[in-house]
Structure 1
Amino acid sequence: MHESDHEIVQLFKRQQYPLSETLTEMLNEHFSHQTERRGCGFTQATRLLAEFINFSRDPRELNDLKLFKDYEDKTLKMLLKQSKLSDWHNLDHNQEAMALAQHNTLACPADLTPDIQFQAQLRQLAQQAQKEESKLLMHMIADIILPKSSAGTGLVELAALAEKPKVGSCPMAENFFLKIAHGRILRKGAVNIIVDQQHQPLLLEKLNMGDDHSCISLKPLLMNGVCVPAGSLFSVDYDSSAIQNKTANQNLPGFVIPYSEIPGFWYLRLTTLAVSLENRARTFSTHFQQQIANDLFSPETTLLQQLADIASAQVRI
């Protein structure tokens, strides 16, 4: 373990479950991730998590364990192959797994105890983090292994698209959202406000400003069991003419649309707005520096709440 390691990297190493080499490189801000297209390593790490978040948790495949370096999965593979375990996620809350661990015998030498202990430790690990950005990312990593439900969290769960739409996630993708936050919308621009069943804004979608169908989340949302923080960048793909239950915005071009009318979303990455002002430069390093160097509209002072306020003002009560 090195002192220069990111806090997240250090915490997983201390638990004897180091993160994958790629994720470690990203979080440690290897120069190869600090490019004009990638932004910074932390941003890249949130893109890497998208490769897991956009797909449903498979109860029998162990792909999610690729987040970790050399995870010992022989026992899980054997039990899944023998159909003695129906789902390897949330083992520390799984009575089936507990029973298997207790009845480990010579006839069935399958000790699940290390896997159960790992998941129990993972459930609490983010509490040891001191930094805001570490807590955000560690909760997302934990949710991939320990998926949550809408019933258990009270969060709206978004349906995921079958494949990624052609919407970019470059470091400048925040550009128009920053302008919208300050009431600056292009002459032909529009914003759609995607709301829940109580007409509370969930996401703000921009149109005719850069990539269409690019959204920023205004509240934490659930996708495939993972709690995705407010300030996340999503893409969405739908036929606007097929949306029946929509109403015009109160004072901006665009519509208020129930999330249930939209067939699916695709998580792209965290935006710089996902982190508080005082921690933004530290978290996003070269990505944040790029935004300032390229004269984006006040990335160092703009709050996500400004977008939330604009979204709320469009909803007719």
Structure 2
Amino acid sequence: MSADTHEIVSAFAQAGLDLHGTLREMLDEHPAHRTERRGCGYTQASRFLSTFINQPRRPDQSLDFGLFAEWPKARTEALARQAIAAGWARGWRRLDRCDPAMRAHLLPESLAAQLATLPKILADIEAGLQHEESRLLMTLIRQILAPEAPAAPSITEMSEKPEIGSCSRAEEFFLEIAHGRVRRNGRVNVFVDNACQPLLVEKLGLGESHSAMAVAPVTICDVVLPPGSLFALRYPDETKPKRDIACGHLLPIEAITQARFLRLTTLAVSTAIRRRAFSAQFEAQLRGDMLSPASTTIDDLRQFALDNLARG
């Protein structure tokens, strides 16, 4: 491994689990992934993970192992069917928590043992990472492969890719919204939980409509997405709001029929490491004269939502 190798790439290699070649290139900031529209390799890596995040964690399918360069997917699915037949409803997932006596009868034994140790390997990799942005991505990878019972509010996934894109300039509007600036003809909706706490801030008439940013953790397919995550939303046009607010509507999170995680934005990490994490994309935000990309935080956007809820 060279000095430029991303620490996630190195950590997985050291654990004997090489990541998919495309994901490695993205994390290592290959020039092909550092374009004006794509942003930077880190942005692209979160887009790569979105393909896996937006699909259900099925117990008998091995699609999630597409994160790795190599994995015996067919044998994993065969083993999963054995586990389900033996009474372990989660299939190949979380075999570390099933009855060891049952696991001992799964074949091949070596694969069953590898699957049982996978959650600990992932947790150890996560614990050994030094950088905030690495731990953020690694938490997503770990949840894809070894999901826990999520505590954050859950939204039904949008299985197909929507017309709403994940262009690297999406932050432009949310940075402005975070500072209380909503352009003419634009509207901003706030989705809240049962305690009327803001979860998602959605923009309409500002670039692509029905694009939203999380200001609190939300769950899709058992993966908890952090504040600063970008989503595409779908809900009926006739949805009745809880009430109007100054910039748009206050809506319950239950109104969302489908949501798709698109990528992490620069607001997902602290300002101190934003340049390191998002490199070329962050530099483009500065060159593009976006509103305070170096100092605006996701807390600013959340405060905007809270202020609008208070004003009504």
- 2:157 is equivalent to residue 160 of structure 1: yes
Aligned match of 1:246: 242
What is the deviation of 1:172? 0.7
Secondary structure of the 1:46 match is helix
- The CA distance in 2 between the partners of 1:305 and 1:109, in whole Å, is 49
- The CA distance in 2 between the partners of 1:77 and 1:244, in whole Å, is 44
- The CA distance in 2 between the partners of 1:247 and 1:74, in whole Å, is 51
The amino acid that maps onto 2:94 is N
Residue pair 1:147, 1:224 contacting (<8 A) in 2 also? no
The amino acid that maps onto 2:250 is V
The amino acid that maps onto 2:144 is I
The amino acid that maps onto 2:2 is H
Aligned match of 1:65: 65
Aligned match of 1:182: 179
Secondary structure of the 2:10 match is helix
Aligned match of 1:303: 297
- Structure-2 change in CA distance of 1:184 and 1:177 (3 Å): same
The amino acid that maps onto 1:94 is C
Aligned match of 2:56: 56
Match runs of 1:1-317 below 5 Å: 1-73=1-73, 75-82=75-82, 83-84=85-86, 86=89, 87-95=91-99, 98-103=100-105, 109-111=108-110, 112-150=112-150, 154-241=151-238, 243-249=239-245, 252-316=246-310
Residue pair 1:186, 1:209 contacting (<8 A) in 2 also? yes
Secondary structure of the 1:166 match is coil
What is the deviation of 1:74? 5.8
Q: For residues 106-162 of structure 1, what are the alpha-carbon distances to aligned partners after superposition, in whole Å with 9 as ceiling and x for unaligned?
A: xx5533112211232113321111100000000000100112223xxx211111124
- The CA distance in 2 between the partners of 1:127 and 1:279, in whole Å, is 19
RMSD: 1.7
- Structure-2 change in CA distance of 1:115 and 1:190 (3 Å): same
What is the deviation of 1:21? 0.5
- The CA distance in 1 between the partners of 2:56 and 2:70, in whole Å, is 23
- The CA distance in 2 between the partners of 1:213 and 1:103, in whole Å, is 49
- The CA distance in 2 between the partners of 1:53 and 1:31, in whole Å, is 25
Residue pair 1:75, 1:110 contacting (<8 A) in 2 also? no
- The CA distance in 1 between the partners of 2:124 and 2:237, in whole Å, is 42
What is the deviation of 1:103? 4.1
The amino acid that maps onto 2:240 is Q
What is the deviation of 1:91? 1.9
What is the deviation of 1:78? 3.1
Unaligned runs of 5+ in 2: none
What is the deviation of 1:219? 0.9
- The CA distance in 2 between the partners of 1:160 and 1:290, in whole Å, is 31
- The CA distance in 2 between the partners of 1:148 and 1:115, in whole Å, is 15
The amino acid that maps onto 2:171 is E
- The CA distance in 2 between the partners of 1:132 and 1:77, in whole Å, is 34
- The CA distance in 2 between the partners of 1:163 and 1:78, in whole Å, is 27
The amino acid that maps onto 2:242 is K
Residue pair 1:79, 1:110 contacting (<8 A) in 2 also? no
Secondary structure of the 2:130 match is coil
Residue pair 1:148, 1:227 contacting (<8 A) in 2 also? no
Question: Would you say how many aligned residue pairs link Structure 1 and Structure 2?
Answer: 306
- The CA distance in 2 between the partners of 1:235 and 1:109, in whole Å, is 41
Q: For residues 14-44 of structure 1, what are the alpha-carbon distances to aligned partners after superposition, in whole Å with 9 as ceiling and x for unaligned?
A: 1111111110000000000001121111100
- Structure-2 change in CA distance of 1:192 and 1:109 (3 Å): closer
The amino acid that maps onto 1:193 is V
Residue pair 1:256, 1:314 contacting (<8 A) in 2 also? no
Residue pair 1:171, 1:291 contacting (<8 A) in 2 also? no
| TM-score, length basis structure 1 | 0.91
The amino acid that maps onto 1:136 is L
- The CA distance in 1 between the partners of 2:71 and 2:159, in whole Å, is 28
